[in-house]
Amino acid sequence: MTHDVAHKLASPRIEVPKHPEWPELAPAEKQALKERIKRLLQERDGVLVAHYYVDGDLQELAEETGGCVADSLEMARFGARSNARTLAVCGVRFMGETAKILNPEKTVLMPDLKATCSLDEGCPADLFSDFCDQHPDRTVVVYANTSAEVKARADWTVTSGIALDIVRHLHEKGEKILWAPDKHLGRYVQRLTGADMLLWDGACVVHEEFKGFALDRLRRLHPNAAVLVHPESPDEVVDQADVVGSTTALIKAVQELPNEEFIVATDDGIFWKMHQLAPNKKLIPAPTAGEGATCESCAHCPWMAMNALQNLEATLRTGANEIHIDPAIRERAVVSIQRMLDFAEGRR
C-alpha cells in the first residue's frame, strides 16, 4: 500500500530573510580580495567546498584553488577525501554540519552561520522526534537538508542525487518509510518507487515558487527547449519536465542533450556552471512570477546568497563562524550519512 499522508503537526513559521546586498566590487578590488583569500587558504591549509547555488565568484575561486564545486552529496564526499586541515564550506548550514560530522578532526568554517534552509528550519528536531516515535515501524529517511539533530534520529540520510536508489532499495526489502522534510521530493520518490512513504510537510521556498501554468505557457513559446526540473518543485512543474534530477543531473543534461535551449527550474546559481560547461546553449529560467507570486519568487535562495567573497575572507581571517557539533549528536548522525556514502560507493 502506498501512503501520501503529509505530517499534520503545525510546521513552524519560517522567517525568510531578505537577499543581502553585497557592494559591487571593481575588477581590481575583486582580484585583490581573491588573492587575499588564496593566501588565507594556504595559511590555514584550507580548501573551498562550494555548492552550485552560490555566487559564481565563489564557484570560480573554489575551482582555481583546488577545491570543489558540487551538489551536496559530492561536497560531502570531497570533504571526507580531502587532506586539508580546514574546510571552508560555501553553501548553507547543513552542508557545513555534514562536513563536520564526517570530519570531526577538521576545522569547518562558513561565511555566515545564519545561512540555513527552509527545509531545515521547517523540521525542528523535537517535533520530528515525536513524529518518529509515533511510527516506530518505519525506516526513517531524511533529506540532507536537515540539522545534525534530525540526522541523528534517522536511519538514512539521502541527497536528491541518490534518494530514488536508496528508497527503491528499502522498498525492495519490504521496508515502510517515514520521509522528511521535503514533501515534493518525497512525493516524487514515492511515485517512482511505489514505496510506502509517510511524508513530513516541508518545502523549499525557492523551488515551491515555480509555477506550472506559467511554465506551460513558456514551453509553448520555446517548443524545442528541454525542460529541466529539480524534484523539490511542485508536481505540476515536475510533470512537464524532460529531465527531473539533482543539480548534477541537470548540469549533465545541458551538456549531453542535443537541444539548443533549456528551461531550467532550480536555483539560478546553477547557471554559472551550466554556462561554463555548455557555453553555446541558451538557458531560460523557469517562471516563478505572475499570478500567485510572492516576494520570494526570484529563483535564488536567500540563504545561499549570504555567501560572498567578502564574508568568506572575514571568516578565514578571524576563524569566526566555525561549525561545532555535540559529540553525542555527531556519533549518531554520522551513521545515517555514512550509510548513504557507503551505498553510493557500492553503486559506483
Build a one-symbol-per-residue string for 19-58: x at contacts with ligand SF4 by CB under 6 A, - elsewhere: ----------------------------------x-----
Task: Give Cβ neighbours of residue 122 (< 8 Å, ≥ 6 apart).
Answer: 11, 12, 14, 181, 201, 202, 203
Q: Applying CB under 6 A, does 92 fall inside the site for ligand SF4?
A: yes
Cell 554559472 locates to 272
Pick from 145, 157, 247, 315 the residue near ligand SF4 by CB under 6 A: 145
Shortest distance (Å) from residue 47 CB to ligand SF4: 21
Q: Applying CB under 6 A, does 206 fall inside the site for ligand SF4?
A: yes
- # residues contacting ligand SF4 (CB under 6 A): 14
Q: Applying CB under 6 A, does 204 fall inside the site for ligand SF4?
A: yes
Pick from 50, 61, 205, 238 the residue near ligand SF4 by CB under 6 A: 205
| Sole window of 172-180, 200-208, 211-219, 237-245 interacting with ligand SF4 (rule: CB under 6 A) | 200-208
Sheet containing 68-70: which strands, arranged edge to edge? 68-70, 46-51, 86-90, 107-109
CB nearer to ligand SF4: give 204 or 215: 204
CB nearer to ligand SF4: give 82 or 247: 247
Report yes or no: 333 and 101 within 8 Å, Cβ to Cβ: yes
Pick from 73, 109, 119, 123 the residue near ligand SF4 by CB under 6 A: 119
Shortest distance (Å) from residue 146 CB to ligand SF4: 10
d(CA 149, CA 115): 17
d(CA 226, CA 255): 12
Instruction: State the cell numbers at 168.
Output: 527503491
CB nearer to ligand SF4: give 117 or 140: 117
| Sole window of 77-85, 238-246, 300-308, 313-321 interacting with ligand SF4 (rule: CB under 6 A) | 300-308
Exposure string for 241-274, b = 16+ CB within 10 A, e = fewer:
bebbbbbbbbbbbbeeeebeebbbbbbbbbbbbb
Helices (H), 124-270: 125-134, 148-152, 163-172, 183-193, 212-221, 235-238, 247-256
Q: Applying CB under 6 A, does 299 fall inside the site for ligand SF4?
A: no
Alpha-carbon torsion (70, 73, 76, 80), positive or negative: negative
Pick from 88, 109, 117, 163 the residue near ligand SF4 by CB under 6 A: 117
Q: Applying CB under 6 A, does 218 fall inside the site for ligand SF4?
A: no
Shortest distance (Å) from residue 93 CB to ligand SF4: 9
Pick from 178, 267, 323, 325 the residue near ligand SF4 by CB under 6 A: 267
Residue 347, number of CB atoms within 10 A of its CB: 10
Shortest distance (Å) from residue 16 CB to ligand SF4: 9
Shortest distance (Å) from residue 111 CB to ligand SF4: 14
Residue 279, number of CB atoms within 10 A of its CB: 7
Instruction: State the cell numbers at 64.
Output: 582555481
Task: Give Cβ neighbours of residue 200 (< 8 Å, ≥ 6 apart).
Answer: 6, 7, 123, 128, 131, 178, 179, 180, 181, 182, 183, 186
Shortest distance (Å) from residue 115 CB to ligand SF4: 8
| Sole window of 126-134, 170-178, 198-206, 315-323 interacting with ligand SF4 (rule: CB under 6 A) | 198-206
**CA geometry: angle at 20 spanning 11 and 245, to 5°?**
60
Report the run of H or E that residue 137 belongs to, with start and end: none
Amino acid (one-letter) located at 308: A
Shortest distance (Å) from residue 119 CB to ligand SF4: 5
Site for ligand SF4 in 237-266 (CB under 6 A): none
Using CB under 6 A, list all residues that contact ligand SF4.
53, 92, 117-119, 145, 204-206, 232, 267, 301, 303-304
